[in-house]
Amino acid sequence: MEIGEILKFLPHRYPFLLVDRVLEADAKRFRALKNVTFNEPHFQGHFPGYPVMPGVLILEAMAQAAVGTLAQQPGLTPGGLVFLVGVEEARFRKPVVPGDTLILEGELLFFRRGLGKVAVRARVGEEERASATLSFAVQGG
């Protein structure tokens, strides 16, 4: 799923669009990519001299990565909003820094009547940097 297709399903735009490409996705699993660059505005203050991607933005990127799987759910069409409504078991193992290519992969645990849950992990190369279980609600679409 290229950026044009992602933009149909996610309302986010710069500077809050945190997925560059969905590498693969089916109705149950997804894998997406986020290129982390020093040009992103949060690096100016987090932290001067030691830029680190904020954990909350890693979680947001993980949530946005699920768009590839959500787009394949019956009855879901472009134009709706997806709200992050819960974060469980979030773990941050090592910083994500400019120059990293963040691979976001996960599995849809359930999706019924607009409510769902995904298990997601973020890695750089083969090294896991973060993981979480995220709950979401879909409105419209």
**DSSP string computed for 116-136:** EEEEEEEEETTEEEEEEEEEE
pLDDT at 9: 86
Alpha carbons 95 and 12: distance in angstroms, whole number: 24
Q: What are phi and psi of 70, to 5 degrees?
A: -60, -35
The predicted model scores a pTM of 0.94
**Of the candidates 69, 62, 64, the residue with the CA atom closest to the CA atom of residue 28:** 69
Overall number of domains in the chain: 1
Average pLDDT for residues 12-26, to the nearest whole number?
95
Q: Which of 21, 31, 46, 121 is catalytic?
A: 46
Catalytic residue at 12?
no
Average pLDDT for residues 89-102, to the nearest whole number?
99
Q: Structural domain of residue 112, as residue ranges?
A: 3-139
CATH of the domain at 59: 3.10.129.10
